[in-house]
Structure 1
Amino acid sequence: MSAEVGGQLEVVPARRSLFGPDYVRLAVLVLVGIGVHAWLIAHTAVPARDSLGFARYALNLSDPHPAPESSDPRQRIDVIRTAEQPPAYPAAIWATELVLRAACGLPTPDRALLATQVANAAAGVLLIVPMYLTGRMLFGRNVGFAGALLFQVLPVPARVTSDGLSEGTYLLASAAAITLGVRAARRPTIGGFLVCGLAVGASYLARPEGLLTGMAVGLVACAAGLARLWPRDAALGRLAALGVGVALVAVPYVVLIGKLTNKSTPGAIMNPWETPRIWQGQPSAAAAPAEGLALFGAWWDPKEDEGKNRLVWAAAAVWTEVIKAVHYVVGTLTLIAIGVHRRRLFAGDLGLWVPVALSGLSLLLMFFLAARVGYVSERHTVLLVMLCCVLGASAIGPVVRGLARVPVLGRVVVWPAAAPATFLAVLVASALPYSLKSLHPQREGHKHAGRWLAAHMAEGDWLQDPLAWAEWYAGRTLYQSTHYSGRPEYVWIVLERGKVSPHSRLPQWEEARQRAAGRAPVYRWPEDAPESGPAVEVYKVPFADLAPR
């Protein structure tokens, strides 16, 4: 007699990552993010100048045009190979522009620039998810909610991710890489590090500095192996998986362009002959503006900063830009959070070490950029601001509890359980008036001037526009920069007057002013602008008057 043993396989349900309270918080965050970004896009006079290059890149991906010096047709791969910027954000603009093309009847110049903002803002809203997940993994649901909310409403990140810039795409990929890096550090597997590497490679395709996240995760893995928190062979295998993931996404682009990046600033940093070494203390004259300082950055001015220590200046410039970008209070909360969680750090919480290590690398890169090139801007701080929002949000609870213990302040806290939410609401309320200001209202005249020029210029006329907005709206630079030849009848010149422009260092600025000197404008916006007030003016100059010069 034989016995048979039978068994029934049980279907184990997949482990859930999100629950009802998570979905409620995410829904609130998405509504706030959409509201802030939609408001800013609707109140944009013209997008940032960088958006013109991104929009041109996207239009060429949609319809590759031959290069000015050649009539040979181009392929999209040729557009990517020769472009200065990485392809992730222009590809997102291309997809967005195709949707807008079917949904609205805007002319191509307006539609392409709107696509740059919508693509950036959509990515800025989507990064709510990885930010929330990172905060929840490290500190809990409420901290994840507070960190993601702060990043959506702080002035610098809200405005930068609503403009025609690449920050939204870059931060979305970086935030996903951070989330995966934190998870891989806490639950180390080969697959986890491989997926994290893929996300790092995606962030590199948006901005070269996206590789910083991979460096931070790699440093944590190295430290875990050296400290024997992990077996060293396992740590080495996980590092290899991280590198393979990065290479799978990044190496094809590197092979295509033949170098790490086509962007000029990283090339200048890495080229020892192009700019002075930081320890020589010599100013970079090319980096200094001709008149005044940049509105949203710190520049080394050879005249005003002569005699100063270059490294001390760089440290002060980075501190100034960072503390403004984190809205002061969030920066203070971040420093408090490092102290509050010091025991977790020294106890080997590898997940928490990922954002801390990445913050340190980001600061070092900004310091090196400031010291070597002589320039650092608020745009360089956005990754650090994102990390500070998560870390700083974790200090809200301890700070409120500490204040409640102060004899005088403790009496004000009537409802202790609601005190952290009240503190967060005050932070949000203090940031929104600055965040919701219109984008570039002083530049609106360039859009009107471009539209007017499109209706009045002859096909063979030349247009000199140092700030580039008007020639874009006139339809002259949608697919390539202007290359004029021959002898036109007229040269049209666009100038902005009434305010000292931070763009006055542009090569054509002084030449355009000299050509228009002593002449009356044929168009001015606004028409009733006072002589001393800001305005955009268009001049029509016969080429014969300029030929001898």
Structure 2
Amino acid sequence: MTLLMATALGLLGWLTYHTEVTFADGLRYIHQAEQIDKGAWSDGILKAVDHPLHPIAIAAVHEVIGGDGPIAWQRSAQAASILASVLLVIPLYLLTLEIYGPSTAWLGALLVAANPIVGFVTINLLSECTFLLFWTWGLWAAVRFLREGRFSWLPLTIGFSALAYLARPEGMLLPLALVATLLVLPLHWATRIYWPRWWMAVAFLVVGPFLLAGPYMAAKGGIGTKPSIARLIGTAPKAPPTALEREKPLPADQTTFQTYRYAILRMFRVMRASVTTSMLPLSLLGLIVAWPWSLRARAWLFSGILLALAAAGLVRLHATGGYLTIRHAIVPGMLLTLAAANGLAWLMRSVVIEGRWIGLGRERFRPGPAVWAALLALLVALPHARHAAHAKGCFDVYHEAGSWIADVKGRDHGKVLDLTDWALYFSQSPGFRFSEVNWAAIDPTTRWIVARDAHIRGHFQYSRLVNDLIGGRRPVVTFPSHPVKGRVQIKIFDRLTPPPSALAGPTHDRGISPQVSTEARIIRR
């Protein structure tokens, strides 16, 4: 176990200096943690959009590490995220041991910890780190209950599910899936349990989560206050056709059937990407060689229902919100990676090389530990090495951009629109964040645009607004100064510099400034 945790820590430490942050969601948790640290519990917990457990963990680590300013909070968030991901290997090991046996347990914990999705959510300081830790503990306790039938496992399942829910709304998926499993168990002789115990378990799983999470739900006024959750459960309308979060604008003539068809296709693509290309065939092999499933029929039924509910949630998320990313498939990705570990463990036990294939007569050989260790190292390292680039740190480019903004804002007038959010945070300067891009587009004092290529060249609705604001101008500064493969590059544009059309000479004159023209486009939309 110590070796597993040390390996996970080493991999995450390596990623810290070879990958860079690309999501701004982690900044919300830092702001929430800052509120909690100041004693504003109502603002930091009850009035915040996000669930509070991850920000509480960040605030707790900050209490230990100390320090003031954005960089101190960034380091506290990094430490909290890395700690959660390192501790994750403990329940992963126990869960794999329960489902697949001792020969797969070590491999399962290692391969999940090395899954690029886990590294991605850790580096980007996302709440999935804390969520997955407690959710996996709850999943392990649920599998133990289904195997042994002992009620002592249910309080653990419910308790860890409640903690997972306080990190992310998906925490409620675990008791829901377990209740659904219990409802199906009586349908087959191989899965039935004693009837009085069955009724008590169902009642316990229905009442228990609401006793623990109910006060928080009552204070929040529902399962969660995130718009995506309200849309998913049907208490709020779908996202507007041109909403910022949509991957692309919703066509006016798109039918409900087409919407769900696209959502199902997107769900399959995301779930396919939740495991690496090399792991996918191993996942299929692992599920096949686990036969006969009757040996752990209840656990397999539970896993199937869990995957089905997760898939339905992903489809609904895309159909109502118009977006779906790999991070949303982290739970299916974990389960499929555990199956891949079982497939690899089977290969290690079963592969035999005929001597005549390599000119050594009729003897038969098994690959030794060194061969399998090399293959395992390749499976772990290859997905990360393909996208890795040397960097001083995963936030270094944002530190540099933030320093530039702070310096320029000290002597020049104008507002900043920062589509990364991080550069503005490190600059400690006022300005427009990504969520305020529409307001920045109609504000005539918006001067500097901070963006990555993905913001400018993307097919998102906001990319059109950003390009209108930039007006074809070249960046006045970039960080780093020259593009490096695999590295994030921040580009800063100054709208007071002449656009290319002005430098080439006017071809027509309508008496409309670039700012007024942009504003007119926004109003028409």
Could you state the TM-score of these two structures normalised by the residue count of structure 1?
0.76
State the alpha-carbon separation in 2 of the partners of residues 497 and 220 from structure 1.
46
Task: Identify the residue that residue 496 of structure 1 maps to in structure 2.
Answer: 451
Report the CA distance between 1:511 and its aligned residue.
5.7
Which whole-Å deviations, capped at 9, do the CAs of 1:276-311 have from their partners, x for residues lacking one?
9xxxxxx9553786xxxx6xxxx68759x9999444
Report the CA distance between 1:158 and its aligned residue.
2.1
Q: Which amino acid aligns with 2:51?
A: P
Q: Check whether the contact 2:112–2:337 (CA below 8 A) recurs between aligned residues.
A: yes
Report the CA distance between 1:350 and its aligned residue.
2.0
The 1:442/1:112 distance shift into structure 2, 3 A limit, reads: closer
Q: Check whether the contact 1:397–1:420 (CA below 8 A) recurs between aligned residues.
A: no
Show structure 1 runs of 4+ deviating over 6 A.
Answer: 305-308, 405-413, 438-443, 518-521, 545-549
Q: Which amino acid aligns with 1:415?
A: R
Q: Check whether the contact 1:40–1:439 (CA below 8 A) recurs between aligned residues.
A: no
Tell me whether 1:537 sits opposite 2:492 in the alignment: yes
Q: Which amino acid aligns with 1:133?
A: L
Q: Check whether the contact 2:245–2:321 (CA below 8 A) recurs between aligned residues.
A: no
Q: Which moved more, 1:331-340 or 1:206-215?
A: 331-340
Task: Identify the residue that residue 3 of structure 1 maps to in structure 2.
Answer: none
The 1:178/1:436 distance shift into structure 2, 3 A limit, reads: farther
Candidates 422, 429, 436, aligned match of 1:469: 422
Report the CA distance between 1:497 and its aligned residue.
6.6
Q: Check whether the contact 1:166–1:206 (CA below 8 A) recurs between aligned residues.
A: yes
Task: Identify the residue that residue 448 of structure 1 maps to in structure 2.
Answer: 400
Task: Identify the residue that residue 189 of structure 1 maps to in structure 2.
Answer: 150
Q: Which amino acid aligns with 1:381?
A: A
Which whole-Å deviations, capped at 9, do the CAs of 1:144-182 have from their partners, x for residues lacking one?
110111112222222222321111101101110111111
Task: Identify the residue that residue 286 of structure 1 maps to in structure 2.
Answer: 243
Which whole-Å deviations, capped at 9, do the CAs of 1:319-359 have from their partners, x for residues lacking one?
2222222113323222233332332x335632343333322
Task: Identify the residue that residue 216 of structure 1 maps to in structure 2.
Answer: 177
State the alpha-carbon separation in 1 of the partners of residues 79 and 373 from structure 2.
31
Report the CA distance between 1:252 and its aligned residue.
1.6
Candidates 263, 272, 278, aligned match of 1:314: 263
Tell me whether 1:89 sits opposite 2:54 in the alignment: yes
Q: Which has the higher helix share?
A: 2
What secondary structure, in the 3-state scheme, does the structure 2 residue paired with 1:350 have? helix
Q: Which amino acid aligns with 1:31?
A: A
Task: Identify the residue that residue 8 of structure 1 maps to in structure 2.
Answer: none
State the alpha-carbon separation in 2 of the partners of residues 262 and 97 from structure 1.
26
Report the CA distance between 1:222 and its aligned residue.
2.7
Which whole-Å deviations, capped at 9, do the CAs of 1:508-532 have from their partners, x for residues lacking one?
x6666555648887x52348559xx
Candidates 348, 358, 365, aligned match of 1:414: 365
| Paired positions, count | 486
Runs of 5+ unmatched residues, structure 1: 1-25, 65-74, 277-282
Q: Which moved more, 1:436-445 or 1:203-212?
A: 436-445
Q: Which amino acid aligns with 2:206?
A: G
Task: Identify the residue that residue 332 of structure 1 maps to in structure 2.
Answer: 281
Candidates 108, 119, 122, aligned match of 2:69: 108
The 1:391/1:466 distance shift into structure 2, 3 A limit, reads: closer
What secondary structure, in the 3-state scheme, does the structure 1 residue paired with 2:124 have? coil
The 1:136/1:514 distance shift into structure 2, 3 A limit, reads: closer
**Which residues in structure 2 correspond to 1:14-33 (within 5 Å)?**
26-33=1-8
Report the CA distance between 1:463 and its aligned residue.
3.3
Task: Identify the residue that residue 304 of structure 2 maps to in structure 1.
Answer: 356
State the alpha-carbon separation in 2 of the partners of residues 29 and 214 from structure 1.
29
Could you state the TM-score of these two structures normalised by the residue count of structure 2?
0.79
The 1:526/1:131 distance shift into structure 2, 3 A limit, reads: closer
Report the CA distance between 1:235 and its aligned residue.
0.9
Candidates 143, 147, 170, aligned match of 2:131: 170
Runs of 5+ unmatched residues, structure 2: 498-512, 520-525
Q: Which moved more, 1:229-238 or 1:413-422?
A: 413-422
Q: Check whether the contact 1:117–1:164 (CA below 8 A) recurs between aligned residues.
A: yes
Report the CA distance between 1:58 and its aligned residue.
0.8
